[in-house]
Amino acid sequence: MCRLFGMSAAPHRVHATFWLLDAEDSLAQQSHRMPDGTGLGSFTADGRPLVEKQPIAAYKDRAFALEAREHESRTFIAHIRYATTGDLVPADTHPFEQNGRLFAHNGVIEDLPALEAELGDRRELVHGDTDSERFFALITERVDEHGGDVTAGIRSAVEWVADNLRMLSLNFVLVTADEMWAFRYPAVHDLMFLSRRPGGASGSRHLEHAGASGTVRTRSGALATKSSVVVATEQMDEDPGWTSLEAGELLHVGPQQQLSRTMLLERPPRHALALSDLSGRAAAAQAPSAPPGRP
């Protein structure tokens, strides 16, 4: 399945190094299918979003996927894509940018013509063919309708999708230059967070996170002395503080790392999909990947 990663060190800008596929054999060791794209988002000192992303089309872009990338930012977002809709092109590779926000999604949403009809003029925000970018456009529309209140906009968007469209999962991470939101719904895929104190569990260690599936790894020396909040699809180190979001729960990390958890949806989706309902490509992309023999 797609891998999500988000991190906030706000209000501090910190250097972090990312490997979106961290080993030469990572591509070969995925148990169900190969990754279809990688993307990393951060923000410049003046708050402009910076996105580096590339499809992995026929492995022509292996070098891009395996190259270490270092950036300084208050917030970061990373994504490993296993395509369900859209092509293997940059426009369909996460993260997406709209109105200064960055977004990455793991899941499946169907009935895209109905979603496009709901978007109306905001269809112009969509440049590719994915369900994810259309879902992001709906969030953007609803945030604007609620006067820029991101949490209210997210609530409105996810309620509409849960009530009106066939869907498997709405798990996502959304970041601005100094805030982060993460949402899990329903309980199909896990989404975890860690409120990490300076130095981690030992109090003296830099950040060194690696997904067990060998897809996302990040390191930051600055976080030996600064706190952070990390969101990921899986536990990425030995820290005992990792916690799963509940189904329907939204995590918000504010500009000073104020952390809030809000239950947005306690009811199940009206038109829930199961893995057995998906096509071969979509089902393979959403199935959990067995970890390789080493991290």
Q: What is the mean pLDDT of residues 70-74?
A: 97
Q: Is the model's pLDDT at 188 over the cut of 80? A: yes
For residue 251 the two structure tokens come to 């995590």
Using a 10 angstrom Cβ sphere, with 0-12 exposed, 13-18 middle and 19 or more buried, the burial of residue 82 is buried
Spatial CB neighbours of 79, under 8 Å, sequence gap ≥ 6 = 2, 3, 4, 5, 37, 38, 39, 53, 94, 95, 104
The reported pLDDT for the residue numbered 3 is: 86
Task: Please state the pTM of the whole predicted model.
Answer: 0.90
Q: Which two tokens stand for residue 46?
A: 């003046």
Q: Are 170 and 161 in contact (CB under 8 A)?
A: yes
pLDDT digits (tens, 9 = 90+) for 147-179: 999 999 999 999 999 999 999 999 999 999 999
Give the pLDDT confidence of 173-184 residue by residue, as tens digits: 999 999 999 999
133 burial level (CB within 10 Å; 0-12, 13-18, 19+): buried
**Quick check: 32 pLDDT over 50?**
no
In the block, which residue shows the tokens 């859209």? Answer: 86
Positive or negative torsion for Cα 170, 138, 132, 9 = negative
Quick check: 196 and 207 in contact, CB under 8 A? yes
What domains lie within the chain, and their CATH numbers? 3-286 (3.60.20.10)
User: What CA–CA distance (Å, rounded) separates 64 from 31?
Assistant: 22
pLDDT digits (tens, 9 = 90+) for 94-140: 899 999 999 999 989 999 999 999 999 999 999 998 999 999 999 99
CB 290 within 8 A of CB 282: no
Is the alpha carbon torsion for 295, 14, 152, 127 positive or negative?
negative
Residues pairing with 38 in the sheet: 54, 80
How far apart CA 154 and CA 174 sit, in angstroms, is: 10
Name the residue with higher pLDDT: 168 or 27: 168
CA neighbours within 13 Å on the CB side: how many for 107?
33
